[in-house]
Amino acid sequence: MRGLYTTTAIATAAMMTMSGAALADDVEVLHWWTSGGEAAALNVLKEDLQTQGIGWLDMPVAGGGGEGAMTVLRARVTAGDAPTAVQMLGFDILDWAAEGALGNLDSVAAAEGWDAVVPAALQNFAKYDGHWVSAPVNVHSTNWVWANKAILDELGLAQPKTWEEFVAALQAAKDAGYTALAHGGQPWQDATVFDSIVIGAGGPEFYKRAFIDLDPAALNSPEMVEAFTRMETLRGFVDDNFSGRDWNLASAMVINKEAAFQIMGDWAKGEFLRAEKVPGTDFLCFRVPGSEGSVTFNADQFAMFKVSEGAVASQEAMASAIMSPDFQIAFNTVKGSVPARTDVPGDQFDACGQQGIAELAAAAEGGTLLGSMAHGHANPAAVKNAIYDVVTAHFNGEYDATAAAEELANAVASAQ
Of the candidate spans 61-69, 105-113, 168-176, 201-209, the one that interacts with ligand BGC by CB under 6 A turns out to be: 61-69
Tally the residues of the chain. Answer: 416
**Residues of span 272-311 touching ligand BGC by CB under 6 A:** 298, 300
Buried b (16+ CB within 10 A) or exposed e, 18-36: eeeeebebbbbbbbbbbbe
The yes or no reply on residue 267 touching ligand BGC (CB under 6 A) is yes
Binding mask 21-60 for ligand BGC (x = CB under 6 A): -----------x-----x----------------------
Q: Which of 184, 189, 296, 195 is nearest to 241 (CA)?
A: 184
Q: Site for ligand BGC (CB under 6 A): which residue of 209, 245, 269, 375?
A: 375
Size of residue set near ligand BGC by CB under 6 A: 11
The yes or no reply on residue 331 touching ligand BGC (CB under 6 A) is no
Buried b (16+ CB within 10 A) or exposed e, 85-95: bbbbbbbbbbb
Quick one: DSSP state of residue 66? G
Q: In the complex, what is the shortest distance from the CB of residue 39 to ligand BGC, in angstroms, rounded to a whole number?
A: 10
Our CB check for ligand BGC shows the closer of 151 and 373 to be: 373
Sheet holding 56-60: strands in order across? 56-60, 27-31, 85-89, 300-304, 134-136
Between CA 236 and CA 63 the distance in angstroms is 25
Contact 406, 119 (CB under 8 A): no
Binding mask 215-254 for ligand BGC (x = CB under 6 A): ----------------------------------------
- DSSP assignment of 254-284 equals HHTTSEEEEE--TTHHHHHHHTT--BTTTEE
The yes or no reply on residue 65 touching ligand BGC (CB under 6 A) is yes
Q: In the complex, what is the shortest distance from the CB of residue 56 to ligand BGC, in angstroms, rounded to a whole number?
A: 18
**Residues of span 123-152 touching ligand BGC by CB under 6 A:** 140
Contact 374, 192 (CB under 8 A): yes
**Residues of span 88-107 touching ligand BGC by CB under 6 A:** 89
Q: In the complex, what is the shortest distance from the CB of residue 141 to ligand BGC, in angstroms, rounded to a whole number?
A: 10
Q: In the complex, what is the shortest distance from the CB of residue 258 to ligand BGC, in angstroms, rounded to a whole number?
A: 21
Contact 137, 331 (CB under 8 A): yes
Q: Where on the chain is the footprint of ligand BGC (CB under 6 A)?
A: 32, 38, 64-66, 89, 140, 267, 298, 300, 375
